[in-house]
Amino acid sequence: MFMHRAPRSVSLAVRIAFVAAGAFLLFVTSAMAESGQSRASSDNTIPSGLVVVRHVKNSPQKDRALERALDNPLISGVGFQIEWRDIEPLQGKPDWSKLDKLFTDAESSKKWVQLCIYPGFFAPAWALEGVKSEKFPVLYGPDRGKVLSLPMPWDMVYLNRWFAFLKQLSNRYGESPAFRIIAADGPTSVSEEMTLPNLLRNLKKWQKHSYTPSKYIGTWKKVFAVYAADFPNQYISLAVGNSLNINEHGKIDRRAGMRTRQAIIHHARGLLGHRFILENHALHAGPRYQPSTGFVMSYSGRIITGLEMGCASELGTCSEWMGAKGNPPLALRRSIDMGMKLNKTGHHVNYLEIYEADVLADEMLPVLRYGASLFK
């Protein structure tokens, strides 16, 4: 059917109105986003100070231990670590009891919370049904050496189940005044750290599953988009790790992992802006080289940064690894000093995470005072 062309003046008016409407919609969308992010946008909400770290399965203390740690005036927050399978063993029927108690204790003591929930190796059995996975040995942590099934990071059946859980988590706790940080994970393995099994024999398995950096980076982009939408009131942390040394052609390349890690961090910073936090979880004063600690500290002053101790000096032989065999207070003090020594920017990290056993030990009190004086 033949259509008459509208007069130029009418056409121009329509275009102007359309542009104006689009600009108004953009303004409204931006304003809504700013309103939703208001709790994570002011200086007094920036995470800072000493943080007590508690993994539900690692703590040898009784249930009141966390309450005691939070009663310590030198402690500003709590980093709570728990496995996804311990919260949602049955699909759609999460058990919130441990997290309910955490938020109740934190709110009553006026301490902020960082939630670190582990999928990957520790996804519930139902979340792996129909999902492409591979068996790998766990490389670190209390399950070190166990061979477990790891879902492929990019498998959308697995990811969509994880995203559905995150939505439930947001609905329940997203408005809590204590909820300050949520750790971004999903395409992960042992913890919230951005790591995958990366020994040479592991790389061959990843090659078999057609791993490429672009596939892995694309997965993280999806993850950050979900976290940005579901947790508008929270900061979102990324714990660095070594990405796989496989390049885009599927070949082993010792520089590929660093490039991949940098691309993921670059995207997260661009998307999340002031709500992005970069962490490293292996601070210690022992002889082992720790490039990731210095890497995170190189961002201090530009973005929010945090460090976590490599382990609890009070437990087992950890004091030796932390820098003073048989002397936990000295080991913790030296490790704190190492965190300051590795700083080359003139700005220290915003917060320092110390394991619960060290926070609760009476002999550590002078060291905690020292740490609190540095991380205010």
Is-contact 341 323, C-beta < 8 A? no
What per-residue confidence (pLDDT) applies to 58?
64
What per-residue confidence (pLDDT) applies to 345?
76
What per-residue confidence (pLDDT) applies to 56?
86
Is-contact 245 272, C-beta < 8 A? no
55-283: which CATH architecture?
Answer: Alpha-Beta Barrel (3.20)
What region does 186 belong to: left with phi over 0, alpha with psi -120 to 50, or beta? Answer: left
The backbone torsions φ and ψ at residue 83, rounded to the nearest 5 degrees and listed phi first, read -85, 145
pLDDT < 70: residue spans in the chain: 1-43, 58-63
What per-residue confidence (pLDDT) applies to 41?
53
Instruction: Note the Cα 171 to chain centre separation in Å.
Output: 19
What per-residue confidence (pLDDT) applies to 346?
80
What per-residue confidence (pLDDT) applies to 224?
98
Domain ranges of the chain: 55-283
One-letter amino acid identity for 62?
A: K
What per-residue confidence (pLDDT) applies to 3?
34
Is-contact 193 239, C-beta < 8 A? yes
Separation of alpha carbons 196 and 219, rounded Å: 13
> CA 156 → CA 2, 64, 241, distances in Å?
48, 39, 23
